[in-house]
Amino acid sequence: MSHLEQFGDSSVILRYFHVIILLLLVPLVFLFRSFLNTQVNLLVPLFKGQESFPPVTNIMFLKTHKTASSTVMNILYRFTEKWNLTVALPARQLYHLGYPWLFQTKYVEGFDTLNGTFNIMCNHLRFNPTEVQKVMPNNTFYFSILRNPISQLESSFVYYKGYVPAFQKAKSLNEFLASPLRYYNESIPIKNIYAKNSMWFDFGYDNNKKDKGHVRAVIEEIQKQFQLILISDYFDESMVLLRNTLHWDLDDVVYFKLNSRSENSIQNLSRENQEKVKEWCALDWELYQHFNRTFWQKIREVIGLKKLVKEVTLLRGRQQELIDLCIQDGKPKNKTQIKDKKLRPYQSGMANILGYNLKRDLDNETMIMCQRMVMPELQYMAHLYSQQFPRKPPKIKLQ
C-alpha cells in the first residue's frame, strides 16, 4: 500500500472522529447553557433584592380602621426596633395622632426637637398631607390598606357597638341595614364616622359627600399621594408585595394576627344586606374596587403571579415555624385565658379580642422576638414611647 493510500484512510478515520466529537459536544453545550441560565435566574433576585437596593426605612402608613392595620402596625414597630429607627408617636397620654380630627404636627411627641428625623409614622390619624409632610422626610414611602366594606362594616359594628350612636340602638347589623337612616344622624358625623364610609373618612375626606365627579377626583388624589394601597382580604399577598416593594427580608413581614375577634362574635350577612352595605358605604365601595384593581396590577408589575405563589408559600411556611416556636397550643386565646397581663389586648364593644400565650422555657433572645410578635398595639406603643422618650411620663395602658 502506498503512502498516499495510507494517508487517505487516516483522513477518513479522522473525519469520523471529528463527527463523533461534535455529536458528543452538542448535548453537553445545551446542558451547560441550561445550567448557567438556571444559576443566573436564581442569583438575580438575590442581588436585586438584597444588594442593589437597601431596605426602605422612611415610611408613612395610614392606619385605617378595622382593616388588619394593627397587624401591619406590629410589623412596622418590629422593623423600627430592628433598625433602631424613630417613630412619630402620639404626644403625652394620647393613643392616636389626633384622630378623628385632621392630623396636625402638635399631636406628635417631640416634633419640635425631632422635626425631620422621624422614620416611621403608623398610628391612627386622619390624613392631612401638608401637616404629615412637615413630620416626615421628603423621600418617605406612603402606603395604606383597605378592606372589603362588607366585612369592614360588620367588624366596625361589633367593635364600636357601645361607642357609635348609630349602632347603639340596633340589635344587629342586619337590623341597622334594614333602615340605616333611622339610626344614623348626619348632624353628628364625628361620633358616627365608624358607621358609614369610615375608610374614606380616614383618608381625610367627607364621608357623607356623594358627588360622582368628586369621588373620581378623590381617588385620583389618593393614588398620587400613596405609592401603594394594600388589600387586607389578600393579606399574605399584600405582605409579599410590601416586602418586594420595600426590599425587606422575609422575617420583616412574617406576622401573627393581632386585634382579631373570636368566630362567635362575627355576624353573617345575607346577600341582600351585603348589597345594602355597598349602597350605604358607596364611597368606601368605590375606593375598594379601584384599589383592588391597582393592587393586582402592582402584583403583576413588581412580582408576577408565579413568583407570588412561591413567596406566599414561603411566608406561610415561615409563619407556621414561628407559631410552633412561640405560641402555646399554637392558637390564639380569649382575654380570660391570657396569662401575661402585658400581652392582653384591649377589649371593645361586643368583640372578643384574641391574644396569645407564649411557650415557657424559651431562651432570652427567642422570648423577646416572640413577645414583640404578639404584643398588642397599646402595649407596644407604650414600650417604644418609653424607649424614645425615657424622661417623659410613661403611657398609661387603656383597659
pTM for the model stands at 0.85
Per-residue pLDDT of the chain (399 residues; tens, 9 = 90+): 444 444 345 444 445 545 455 555 544 444 444 433 433 333 334 333 444 789 999 999 999 999 999 999 999 999 999 999 999 999 999 999 999 999 999 999 999 887 667 999 999 999 999 999 999 999 999 999 999 999 999 999 999 999 999 999 999 999 999 999 999 998 888 889 999 999 999 999 999 988 888 999 999 999 999 999 999 999 999 999 999 999 999 999 999 999 787 777 788 899 999 999 999 999 999 999 999 999 999 999 999 999 999 999 999 999 999 999 999 999 999 888 998 888 988 887 677 889 999 999 999 999 999 999 999 999 999 999 999 999 999 997 655
In the prediction, which pLDDT does 48 show? 39
Other Cβ atoms less than 10 A from the Cβ of 319: the count is: 19
In the prediction, which pLDDT does 44 show? 37
243 burial (CB, 10 Å; 0-12 / 13-18 / 19+) is buried
42 membership: H or E segment, kind and range: helix 3-47
In the prediction, which pLDDT does 116 show? 65
Work out whether the CA dihedral 161, 162, 166, 172 comes out positive or negative.
positive
Q: Is 92 left (phi over 0), alpha (psi -120 to 50) or beta?
A: left
In the prediction, which pLDDT does 215 show? 94
Give the separation between CA 392 and CA 107, rounded to whole angstroms.
Answer: 15
Instruction: Determine how β-strand 228-231 pairs with β-strand 120-121.
Output: unpaired
Q: How far is CA 3 from the centre of its chain?
A: 84
CA dihedral 148, 150, 155, 160 (to 10 degrees): 110
Give 126's strand partners: 102
Residue ranges in 83-225 assigned as alpha helix (H): 111-114, 129-135, 149-159, 165-168, 173-178, 180-183, 198-202, 212-225
Q: Is 136 left (phi over 0), alpha (psi -120 to 50) or beta?
A: beta
In the prediction, which pLDDT does 47 show? 36
In the prediction, which pLDDT does 41 show? 36
Instruction: Determine how β-strand 59-62 pairs with β-strand 141-146.
Output: parallel
In the prediction, which pLDDT does 265 show? 77
If you ran DSSP here, which 8-state letter would residue 211 be given?
-
Give the separation between CA 213 and CA 286, rounded to whole angstroms.
Answer: 12
Give the separation between CA 215 and CA 218, rounded to whole angstroms.
Answer: 5
